[in-house]
Copies of this chain bind each other. A is one copy, B any other.
Amino acid sequence: MGLLSAESYLQSLNDGREIYYKGKRIPDVVADPDLGIAARHASIDFELAERPDYRDLAVAEEDGQTYSAYYRIPRSGMDLANRSKLIEAGTREGGTLVLLIKEIGSDALFALMRVLRRHDEQPGLEKLERLYRACRDGDLTLAVAQTDVKGDRSKRPSQQADPDLYVHVVSQSDEGIVVRGAKVHISCAPYVDRLIVLPSRSMTEADAPWSVSFTVPVATKGLKLYASDFLGEAGDEFTHPVSSLHRMVEALVVFDDVFVPWEDVFFCDRPDIASDAALAFVEYHRFTAVSYKLPYLDALVGSAFAVAEANGISRASHVREKLTWLVGYAESVRGLIELAALRAREEHGIAFPDVLTTNLAKWHFARDFHAAIAAVQDLAGGLLVTGPSGADWASDDVRPVLEKYLVGAWPAHRRLAVLNLISDLTSRSYGGYQAVLAVHAEGSIEAEKLAMLRAYDPTAALNYALDLAGAQNAG
């Protein structure tokens, strides 16, 4: 066992899994021109572990065994801070796009460890630890299938017209359970080994059949993945310097009466655990989320500084104002997520980041994201959408014209390189992808707000105000 190579990872994906893409069954994920980009992007995870400069961050060692540091169970704020740095490093190497084939899975493992201990669920815990060891020792990759398709959002699972709109248990036997339903927006599902399935919301007693958590290999009978094609065919590298090389794929994951043996079921018919698991997972997952936003933010800040130079406007007062704002925005997010780690809390020996601080970081990130995009586009100028194509640049007839006329304070080729980076990051579909992620991934802004209000204890502030008002004991 031990650490896998990128190559072994990619080869292992050709296992008969049932993937549909653009209306067709895909026989081999890695061989598909679009999906292959995503799988190779994800494989950077394994390359990182082999690079000497990242080894300390990316590889854990215990009892002489080495394993991927994503699977290191956090015991302290320092562990969480290192985990954050690892996620950031992977994303940085991934060209601003998170790798996410172990990040989210380990978020789920740690959350379930805490919750199953909290509920003293020994059998579930043993199964979970078996999965944990398998992942750690086999360097496995995981997706987490949490978000149900939900149907009418004003109704609970048990109230939906179609019970399948939340994944649920349709039958139980001595061997295991049969589940049906669909999960949506499941990142990386087409190119990981296994899914961990979690409930997507709090549950009531009436929702017991929907209160289930288990794991399943992607290549399982009845499990069908419908991959999204939002990013389409890769653009040329000139105008798409990031998205031509990096992408992530989400899938609609359908459980068409999938059988899951009991040994892979962590809990079943347990609304109480379901609610706790949903919450505990996002406690880790939003921390992961902010950690992986940092390279994208750095790319925005860095390209803003670059384009201000390239355009010859870096001395202008309004430009400095915008650069300052961008720095303030990005560094507030970075600062708050670092603080969330430093303010770590602990449950049953497992550390987790401070919930209020994590949500503060994500709230800042999400609510000002579109303003940051606007600021960078403002500095860059209209060439973002009116500039030349890669074919223009490659043409001997056209390129000299562009070199003559598209100079700024930097020569045209360098200026266009920066402009194309900004165009790819903010104006093309990759930019739109990041924008929608900013609003929705790992919980919407409204979800962050709810979490902030829930995580904040107003007692001290309230008492201070009542003391000042002289209204404390006023009955």
Contact = CB atoms under 8 A, between A and B. Distances in A.
Interface string A76-97: 0000000000000000100110
A363 interface: yes
A3 interface: no
Contacts of A370: 370-371, 373-374
B22 A303 contact: no
Nearest to A246: B468
Given A332-B332, A386-B230, A469 B298 contact: no
A109 interface: no
B162 A418 contact: no
Interface stretch (A120-128, A136-144, A273-281, A396-404): A396-404
A43 to B, nearest CB: 19
Contact of A151 (B302, B408, B466): B408
Interface string A241-271: 1100000001010100000000000000000
Interface of A: 20-25, 92, 95-96, 147, 149-154, 162, 164-165, 182, 184-185, 224, 226, 228-230, 232, 235, 237, 241-242, 250, 252, 254, 295, 298-299, 301-303, 305-306, 311-313, 315, 317-318, 320-321, 323-324, 327-328, 330-332, 335-336, 338-339, 342, 356-357, 360, 363-364, 369-371, 373-374, 377-378, 381-389, 391-395, 397-398, 401-402, 404-409, 411, 413-414, 417-418, 420-421, 423, 426-429, 431-433, 435-437, 439-441, 444-446, 449-450, 452-453, 456, 458, 460-466, 468-471, 474-475
29 contacts: A22-B392, A23-B398, A149-B406, A154-B315, A230-B427, A241-B469, A252-B406, A299-B461, A299-B465, A299-B468, A302-B461, A302-B466, A303-B469, A305-B461, A305-B462, A305-B465, A306-B465, A317-B318, A318-B321, A320-B453, A328-B360, A335-B335, A336-B336, A338-B339, A370-B370, A382-B437, A418-B471, A427-B435, A428-B432
Given A23-B397, A427-B429, A427-B435, 7 more contacts: A20-B392, A152-B408, A164-B405, A228-B387, A335-B336, A421-B471, A431-B432
